[in-house]
Each structure stands twice: as structure tokens, then as C-alpha cells.
Amino acid sequence: MKKILVLHYSQTGQLTRVLDSILTPLKADPAVSITYEELKPAKPFPFPWTSKEFFDAFPESVLEKPIEMQTLKVNPSEQFDLIILGCQVWFLSPSQPLTGFLKSKEGAQLLNGKNVITVSASRNMWLNAQESVKLMLKNAGAKLAGNIALIDRAPNLVSVATIVGWLFYNKKENYFGILPPSGISEKEIAEASRFGTTILEALNKNEFQRLQEKLVAQGGVSMVKTLVNLELRAKFIFRKWAQFISTKGGPGDPKRRVRTKIFAWYLPIGLLVLSPIAFTLSNLIMLLMPKKAKKQREYFEGVELK
């Protein structure tokens, strides 16, 4: 019997549905047992979000401060052949519940020595968050064996507009009949089951070395080429903002409200102005230094940590 543990935290349910689709072939195999564990913060985050709560979650997400988590149902000393970890992305960083789990004692105990496959279903900027997850997994003694990253395929600014409706008003579709629904398409969610077949094969052979290569060949890692450089620079700027805000106080502290409000104005304006510039610069870099750009993309498709 092969034992799999699936850890997930999802607010809209999208990430859980992606995981479910991936797990379809594994669930159908009687020789595989799957345990599900929801990662629950001690103090729940809201959904839908208010603007105030959303931006107040920014500094601690970016600074990757671990929050208190509810005790896991699963025994942390239980052994698993594979852990599949749903990774929600917040502000180019792991979501606070994910960081809370990865940096917890229980998390480290569960992850130590295990093969882990990470799965994200973000808007389109997950590279920095995944680098942080790679490091946290390494610190916990886990071995990252695979990564599947699905994204919203709409143009960047369109997905920014639609995700606002989704996160703040729980309105996922019907944007005047013009804009596409927010999030990962239903077709991509359904077709994610193909990754499960590849995972099952690796699990049965206990051979994870070439898993990521196979997942990438199956289209398991999506990224927007023209946003890679913008995203890498943005995390640096985000850290400065996060420090600037958090020096005034912790989560919910009224003393940091003014700074949080300024950031709430800066973010959409920054995106509107910087996106087209980044798009042009990225195309120029890819044209002038195609090898460097390709190498960079290949690194982010992989599971190694530089």
C-alpha cells in the first residue's frame, strides 16, 4: 500500500479542485491510500476579503512571518510515501497559512525526509513564492520531487481586474459578457488529472528523479515569460514596503493604517504603469539574450534551489 498525504489551504476552493483532479488516477488505484489534511490558521482569514483586511495581510505574508496554526488531525510522526502540498500564493509569497505550516514544528516533523510535490493555482505570479517554499521545505528536511503550477491564462491586466471581483466580491464570472471568468479554466482543472498518472507511475516505481522533467513535458508548469523579470524585481520592492509598514505595528494595528493605505494605492498604479514597461523590456531581453532568458525559465520550471 502506498500512502499519500494531501495538505491544502484554499479559500475559493479552486486549489482543492485542482488537487482533486490531479488525484483522480491515484484515487482509482486500490493500492494507494490518501489522507487529506486541511491547513487551518488559528485565526481564520476572511473570504471574500475587504480591502482593509487584504492589504493588512500584505506585510506579514511578504516577510514570511509564521502565524499560529490549528493542530493537525494527522499524527506528525506518521510515515507517508509522498506528500502533495497545495501552495496558495499571496503577494508573491507563500500564503500565511502555508508559511505557518511550513515553519511549524509539526510541519517539519511531517515533512522531514519525505518526497513532496507542490501544486499551485495562482493568478500568474508564483515564482518568488515557490523559491520561498523550496527553501522552507529544505529547512524542514523534505525533498522537493515535483512542482505543478497552473495560472489564469488571461492577459495580465485582465486577470488583475477579474481577480479583484473574485477576491473582494466572490464574483468569479459574468464580467459584462466581455471579460473571461477569473482563475484557472475548467478545462485545465479537468485535464490536470494527467499529472496524477505520471505521479502514480513515479510512486509505484519509487522513482522521483525524473518526475519534474515529465511533469514539465506534460505542461505542468505555466509561467508568463514576459512577467518573469517584473516579478523578480517586484519581490524586492515588496520587501521594502512590508518593512516600511510593519515598523508601525503588527496585523490590525491602527498605527500602520496610513502606510497600508498608501501601499493599496501604489499597487494598482504600479501594476498599470510597470506591466507595459516590463512587457517591453522582457521582450527586448528575450530578443537580445535568448539563452539567458531560456536558462532562467528552465530554472523556474525545475525543483532545484539555487
Binding residues (CB under 6 A) for ligand FMN: these are 10-15, 54, 57, 88-92, 121-126, 167
> CB of residue 190 vs ligand FMN: minimum separation in angstroms?
16
> CB of residue 242 vs ligand FMN: minimum separation in angstroms?
13
- The SS3 call for residue 112 is coil
Strand partners for 4: 34, 82
What are the C-alpha distances in Å from 293 to residues 10, 219, 222, 266?
32, 19, 15, 28
> CB of residue 267 vs ligand FMN: minimum separation in angstroms?
10
Strand partners for 32: 2
Distance CA 218, CA 228 (A): 21
CB closer to ligand FMN out of 97 and 208: 97
CB closer to ligand FMN out of 17 and 259: 17
Phi, psi of 137, deg, nearest 5: -65, -40
CB closer to ligand FMN out of 26 and 125: 125
> CB of residue 99 vs ligand FMN: minimum separation in angstroms?
13
Distance CA 194, CA 218 (A): 8
CA 66, 69, 74, 77 dihedral sign is positive
> CB of residue 162 vs ligand FMN: minimum separation in angstroms?
11
CB closer to ligand FMN out of 125 and 303: 125
CB closer to ligand FMN out of 84 and 108: 84
